[in-house]
Amino acid sequence: MKPNSQLILASESPRRKELLSALGVPFRIVPSGVDEISFPGEAPARFAIRAAMDKGMEVAQKHPFSWVLSADTIVVIDGAILGKPKDRADARRMLSLLEGREHKVYTSLCLLCGERGYRDAGTEVTRVFFRSLARNEIAAYARTGECDDKAGAYAAQGAGMLLIDRIAGSFSNVVGLPMTRVVSMFKKAGLIAASCSGSRFYRFAGGKK
């Protein structure tokens, strides 16, 4: 007998876990061990989709009967990827690059089920406009520590929202998981359906055969 189908989030990000939980669909966390390293000359959008697919495939190979959602989020300015800061000085450098300007946040998604031979992938792009920031504001935000493990050195869902003037596109994408696109991908795969009872928004529908 084949194991029951289930949903896996291939990320240990607490922000992605919280966003995906809004659906009301049960899932478990199985983080990928893939290193997020871009190739020389690789375009940011191409890197994001490759990284998301690599993460998803690594987990899907170990859990072939499950549906695996993987993601990779990057911050891009002037065509360059801003990763996680090495230290607070690096965080201040990144924030100085972003202040008073527009940058883009890319999140690539990959949905896989190895046993069914299913694969779907896509990328969401959000334009983010930072307000002008004084040097002491940049230093103060860096000292909060919120920037330490965040791409681009800020968290839009935390105190980092005070750095942002406006956005064009999905806010949840900036946090790490574009939920409207996730819902669309899940519905296309037959993974979710509106709940008919209880307090949950959606129920797990098992996926297309």
Catalytically active residues, by annotation: 72
Q: Are strands 28-29 and 7-9 parallel, antiparallel or unpaired?
A: parallel
Backbone angles phi, psi at 76, to 5 degrees: -130, 130
Distance from C-alpha of 70 to C-alpha of 56, rounded to nearest angstrom: 5
CA distances from 196 to 23, 94, 193 (A): 14, 47, 9
* Partners of residue 194 on adjacent β-strands: 202
Backbone angles phi, psi at 167, to 5 degrees: -130, 160
**Amino acid letter for position 67:** W
